[in-house]
Amino acid sequence: MSEETIVVIGAGVIGLTTALHIQQHLHPSQNILIVARDFPNTTSLNYASPWAGAHYRPVPGPSSSPQAARENSQARRTYEYFKRLATDPSSGVQLIDGEEHLEAPPPEYLNEANIQNAYAHLDGFRRLTQDETPPEVKWGVRYRTYVVNSPVYCAYLLRKFVLNGGQTREYTLVDPMEAFELAGTGTVRTVVNCSGLGFGDPKSFIIRGQTCLVRNPCSVTITRQNSDGTWSFCIPRPLSGGTIIGGTKQPHDWNPTPSLDTRKQLLSNAAKWFPFAKESGGHFDVIRDIVGRRPAREGGMRIEAERVGGDRFIVHAYGAGGRGFELSWGVAQDVVQLMFENGLARQKASL
């Protein structure tokens, strides 16, 4: 029997997590190769994962929305996975308290069924009373969540993948069909497309985000919605990685240069609203301004198996926008399930 290679396109958090999960379900005759333009040792505006905050905050959506239901399921499974990861400090994942403060809560936050659906699974979830939040905050909650030192975590995933026997290749693909030709002497039946934006998908677009990484420590992660509809957040990075202060969401904005005015606004909001140590005195020790491009898609992620001739398949998993970390493990499970259904992987783990 000739050797078969499964190719995963992309080494962002979705690609790395998916490749690791596939490794647990390989036939003895199968191996796995990650092909990517960027890996965790590189920095690029278009390689979003190492720039991420990253933390978990539920996103309530209408219960009738298939996208909201799918993402809620993926986020729940990922939450449980990250809780286990946090027991290994080298992963760059840590469990801490998270809070949300909303000045003008959107309608989906005022529907109790939506809130229970999105938040009830969180450890320690409770509503905040008025005397626990600033006066202008109309809706507040607290729960246990996770925060991630994203560069450390991406390197951790890649290291595990390689130690498990996975192969990597730095290569810029123009079309996913190219990936079927990269196995050398082996054959490729399955390409998993975790490329972020896909390849020319008209529904895909970037969301520019600007944040600021500071040395000032913070013991909680807080997300704040302002009355004008803008959002601010602080996310401590484990392993003394500083604190991310954000942030902006600018769809279709390709400007690669950080705005000093935006930095000034982010830090001004942080000084007012977030519990940095008193010795900070409202001043921040800035490590760097960060601009990243989140790979988003209208209607949410594309997760489907596409037959591209004979017994060849491309399994698509791209377009997570700003929720790559939050959905990653659930997406990986859903990809492997599609592979089971199409006879591309075996259901019993080989490890």
167-170: strand order across its sheet: 167-170, 30-36, 4-9, 187-193, 313-318, 302-307
Beta carbons of 329 and 77 less than 8 angstroms apart: yes
| Band (7; pLDDT cuts 50, 70, 90) | very high
Beta carbons of 319 and 295 less than 8 angstroms apart: yes
Q: What is the percent of the chain where pLDDT is above 90?
A: 78
Q: Which helix (H) or strand (E) holds 336?
A: helix 324-341
Residues contributing to the annotated binding site for D-dopa: 294, 322
CA-wise closest residue to 306 among 318, 323, 295, 297: 318
Beta carbons of 3 and 28 less than 8 angstroms apart: no
User: Which pair of tokens denotes residue 99?
Assistant: 């809070």
What contacts 13, CB < 8 A, 6 or more positions away? 49, 52, 150, 153, 154, 157, 324, 325, 328
Instruction: Quick: pLDDT tens for 224-277.
Output: 998 888 889 999 999 999 999 998 999 999 999 999 999 999 999 999 899 887
Q: What is the percent of the chain where pLDDT is above 70?
A: 97
Beta carbons of 50 and 154 less than 8 angstroms apart: yes
Residues contributing to the annotated binding site for FAD: 174
Q: What is the pLDDT of residue 337?
A: 96
pLDDT mean over 156-169: 97
| Band (351; pLDDT cuts 50, 70, 90) | very low
d(CA 186, CA 62): 46
Residues contributing to the annotated binding site: 174, 294, 322
pTM given for the model: 0.94
